[in-house]
Every structure is written in C-alpha cells, then in structure tokens.
Structure 1
C-alpha cells in the first residue's frame, strides 16, 4: 500500500510541474494615433425635434402610433479631407420599445413604462459631399475592418454599425476622404400603445442621442 501511495504522489508532482513554471506577468500594449484632422458635426435647430403637445386621442390604444416625420440639416466640416464614419450613441439606452441598434429610446413614463422609439435616417440622395455629383453609403459592422458594397439606399444610423460615404457604387473599399458633408436627415418617431402607458399625468418625450464622428 505504501509503495502505491509513493508512486501516486510522484505522478502528481510530475503532472503539475509545468504549471508551476507558468509566467506570473502579462504585457499590456496601448496603441493609437494622434491626428491633426478635426471634423465638426452640426445639426440645424441645435439638434432639437419638438412634437409639441400630442393628445391621447391622436394615439392608438392597442397599436403603436407613428408621428409625422421630422427633418434636420446635418453639416460635417473638416479642416482637411478626412476618412470618417458616423455612429450614434443612445443617451436613453434601454428605453426603446424595440431592441435594435437602429432604434433609440424616448425614456420612461411615471410608471417606468417605455414611451416609444425613434430612428435617424440618412438618404444618399439627400447627401452632398464636396463637389461630387453623386454619393453612396457604405456600412461596417466590424469596426471598420470590412465594409459593405456601397449603394444609394436610405438607411437608419446604428449604434454599433459604422456609416460612411463614397463616390463609387458597388465599392467595398470603405469611405473616401471628405472635407465637407451636408445631408438632410429624417427622424422617425413611434409611440407605444396608450394601453401600455401611464397617462394619468403628462408624459414627456425625452429622447437623447449623440452623433459621433469616428476617424478611420
């Protein structure tokens, strides 16, 4: 019995020896590029979309109600031609009535019910880039590592997908360098059924999002 235990102990020692010599440290690498490029985005009306007061009689009891579309003018001015993409962050994250990266929340009512959602839609036909005659949009779901084939279809901007612009149809090379971009963007807003809301008092639509310029 003692010989068996001795052999078993030796086996354990041999099998665990490699982990005893494993490294006790790991390297951290921090990378990045400081660029002299600077692009400034601006929205008309200070980015405010105000629907005013909406009567509950104008809202559906059991269905979602889409409000009238609103438009804003977007201008992005760069100090030199720059390759960039657009991304939007929801400052009311988790309050949209549909869980999707293209929908943004309108916050909650007094009983913490989700009020609705909205999206911000870009149309290449309403977008002007420098002196180009036509603009196409291209998208990346991989943080700019790969890009979709560019096309002229309108698209809502996402919270996790890059949106860029190019002058070549069917290109997957990504966005071109741009100095000035102007676009008329459309805000589409939907309100939850009133049966799902607490309308015992006024409910404020409180959507807030940040449009980011991502340098490539």
Structure 2
C-alpha cells in the first residue's frame, strides 16, 4: 500500500519534468567601484567626552535628567574633492532607553537597566567647507535615493540616515564635492529616570559610537 502511494505521488512530478525545464542554476553578480578618494575623520580630544562624577541625588526620580551640553570638533580631510556623507553606528546598540535612530546608548547599570542616551547635532552655521562662505545641511533616509531640501537648520546624525553638506540652499541634489570639512558638534546626553536604575554602586557611563565617512 505504501509503495503504491509513493508511485502515485511520483507520477505528476515525472510528467511535470517532461513538460517544463526548471532552471538548475542561478547567477550572482558582484559589483562595486574602487575610488582613489580617501577621507580621514578626526574628533578633537580623541573623541572622548567625560561628564565627571554625577551625584545620584542630582538625578530626577521620575523623568530623565539632561546633562550639560558638550562640544567637540570634527574634521574630515580628503586627498581630493569628492561627494561623501556621514553615518553613525552605535557600539552599545540596544542600551538606549529611547527608540530612535538619533539616540545612542550609554550602557547598562549593575542591574542590566538602560542608563540613558546621547545624540550628536551638526550645525551648518558652525561648519566650514573648503573656501565656501556658506554651507547647508542635507540628509537622506532612503540610502541616497532622495535628499531632504538643504537648509541651515541643525541636523542630528542618525544610524540609518545619510548626512551631508552642500553650498546650494534649497537643493535636493544631495551633498556637494568636498575636500576639507570642519564642524563644531554638539553632544546632548540624558540619564534615565532614577527610579528605573540600580545606582547602589558607582555606575560608569559607557557610550561608544563609530562615525563613518561613506563615499557617494
């Protein structure tokens, strides 16, 4: 009985194979472009921000506590003018208590609770690009397919959005070709509500992120 069933199920498969020829191979294409352009990003102070010691009693019980703003300078030096954007990757992914691509985590306390978040903001008005008199910011949330209309408003760098600069105001063409860029970056940190944290022992803020130059 089992042998008969096996033959019955096999017949349609054999008939189908005789009528159509299914492809037994598939092609893979690997492409890319190697560019002679090379850019080096550098944060002032080695990219280290230290808030020092923060008293437990200075933290809000039920709401987040904003720490004083910190500032650092980013320089991007390229061997030739070219179009590039900036992107940030959180090295403490999963520790931010606010779910947004512009917030990066400050690590966990001794009980595994999320300590807080920080963000980095770029202000075109505090950004110098080559010999341009004025610079405008733009960004893309579509991987460079479409660009936000360029303007002089500050932009928070995100982990999934491309951030660039151009000399054209009101443009949707994306970043301009740049050789040297210097920008004053504002860092804002917020500690989670005290009631959500285990602060029975000294707890170290442990934020870490990598800023990447992406060539277009």
TM-score normalised by length of structure 1? 0.92
1:203 aligns with 2:203: yes
How far apart are the structure 1 equivalents of 2:93 and 2:63? 23
Mark the CA change 1:13 to 1:180 in structure 2 (over 3 Å): closer, same or farther.
closer
Deviation at 1:188, TM superposition (A): 0.4
How far apart are the structure 2 equivalents of 1:13 and 1:36? 55
Q: Name the count of aligned residue pairs.
A: 209
Deviation at 1:143, TM superposition (A): 1.2
Q: What is the RMSD computed on CA atoms of the aligned residues?
A: 1.9
1:107 aligns with 2:107: yes
1:53 aligns with 2:53: yes
1:75 aligns with 2:75: yes
How far apart are the structure 2 equivalents of 1:204 and 1:77? 33
How far apart are the structure 1 equivalents of 2:138 and 2:148? 6
Q: Which residue in the other structure is 1:118 paired with?
A: 118
Deviation string 1:41-95 (CA, Å, 9 cap, x unpaired) is 0110100000000001111011100000000011000011010000000000010
In the alignment, structure 2 segments of 5+ residues that lack a partner are 1-7
SS in 2 for 1:123: strand
TM-score normalised by length of structure 2? 0.92
SS in 2 for 1:63: coil
How far apart are the structure 1 equivalents of 2:19 and 2:122? 55
Mark the CA change 1:19 to 1:121 in structure 2 (over 3 Å): closer, same or farther.
farther
How far apart are the structure 1 equivalents of 2:155 and 2:60? 27
How far apart are the structure 1 equivalents of 2:13 and 2:58? 77
In the alignment, structure 1 segments of 5+ residues that lack a partner are 1-7
